[in-house]
Each structure stands twice: as C-alpha cells, then as structure tokens.
Amino acid sequence: MEGIKNILEKVRDNSLSVEDALKRIKGYPFEKIDDILFDHHRNIRKGFPEVIYGKGKSAAQLVAVAKRLIELDLPVLITRVGNKRARKVRSEVPALQHDPVARVLFFISEQVEKLPPGGTQGKVVVMTAGTSDLPVAREACVALDVMGIAHEELIDVGVAGIHRLFSFLDMLEKASVIICIAGMEGALPSIVGGLVKCPVIAVPTSTGYGSNMEGLVPLLAMLNTCAPGVGVVNIDNGFGAAALAASIVWTCTTPSYCQRQEQ
C-alpha cells in the first residue's frame, strides 16, 4: 500500500523521479476527479484506496476516476456496475477487468502486497449457503483479489443438505477468517460459527421467498445467533465483508502493523 513515506523512499532509492513523485503527492489528501472528490488520504489511513460505489454514477465519471487511479498505479475497485455500463467504461479504460456475476470493475495493482506470503496463514474462506448467493460471494472474492488477500471459495453448502458442509471441515478449520453468505432463513453462519475458532463474518442476502423480506429475515437471524465469534455486515454486502476480512488479516500478518502497535 503506497503512502507518502513509500513515495519518498522510492525517490531516495532512485526508483522514482522527483517529477513522478510530485504528481503522486500533490493529490493528497484528496483530488477532484470529474464530480468525484476522491479521498487519496484513505490509502494512508486504511491501507487501501477508496472504493467506488458505481450505482448512480455515470460511465463518464467512472472512466475519469479509473483512468486517474491506474495512472497512479493504484488498485481500482468499482462495485455495482451492470453489463452495459461496464462495457462502455472498459471501451475507454481497457486495463479494467469486469466480473459480470459480481457486477464489479477492477484493476489489480502491482503496488499491492500479496498476503499471506506463504502457507495458509491469513487465508480467507468465502462460502455460500446456495448458488443463488454467488453474486455476493463473487463481489467479496474480487475485492479480496484486489486487496491482495488469498482466499478459497466454497459454494452451495447450505443447511438443507448439511452433510455437504462436513466434507469441507478441514478447509474451514485452517481458515483465518470465514465469510459466510446466506439468504432464506440465514442459518448457515450460526452452524459454522459453532464449528470453528476463527472469526466468522456473516453476510445476509436478499435471496429467498416472500417472507424473507429481501434479506431482513436472515439479517435478524444472524444478529441473534447463539454462536460466539460471528459478526454481521449489511444485506448483500460482499465488499463490506471482504474489507473486514482484509482488516483482520492485515492486523494479524503485516509486520509493519504489529510493530506500530508495539511502539
């Protein structure tokens, strides 16, 4: 994650010119890009740049911000972008990738440190109760990819066929964080939370029939779980779950963070 200190170190090491460093620094702490006041300082505060919520923004606005971030070699993550708008944006910014299931445009920067450096430490498992929950899972997975966080997917292991889950207990027990996504009655995170030691991030989805109430029922079920160690994010919020999982992994595995906490 590039902050001002890293930029200055690159100038010192002659790996970045003074002119290029000036271009990168002058945008801090924020920069007006089209109609978006982009928060560059968030990269310093949080370790990851601002993520763009695409719904309600024009293709021109998304093109402008994506071009600027790629120019700075920063990661780009634009959520909730339909196929038509995604094609229009990519026609002008071909460096962007598009995941149509996740409804996400993204660019993976070489500046992002890949975690974990080896083994299973820091690995996230993204799991769903049903295949219908896949769009939310894919949003989480793409966000983790852009953030440099290793992860595995486990799809369609809901409680209606609970025996499927038990075949993957070894994977779950080795995870550092589990993102558990479920619609309908939202029971799966409670079961998983009772089986593992690691934090479980529960994501309710709007998948379900009438009384599911567009995700409100699983949201309330997850909030009322009796399994300890389960936290809940908002309905259909795959990105929010990924951001929380990444924060946990960074806290546990990044030496610079641990050193700051000791000082």
pTM listed for this prediction: 0.81
For the domain made up of 124-253, the CATH class stated in words is alpha beta
Q: For residue range 42-89, what is the model confidence (pLDDT) as tens digits?
A: 766 776 777 889 999 999 999 998 998 888 788 899 999 999 999 999
Report the pLDDT value the prediction gives residue 28, as an integer from 0 to 100: 64
Residues of the chain with pLDDT under 50: 1-2, 261
Domain boundaries, the chain: 4-107, 124-253
175 Cβ contact list (under 8 Å, min separation 6): 120, 123, 124, 125, 152, 196, 198
184 Cβ contact list (under 8 Å, min separation 6): 129, 130, 158, 207, 208, 209, 212, 217, 218
Report the pLDDT value the prediction gives residue 26, as an integer from 0 to 100: 65
Report the pLDDT value the prediction gives residue 8, as an integer from 0 to 100: 85
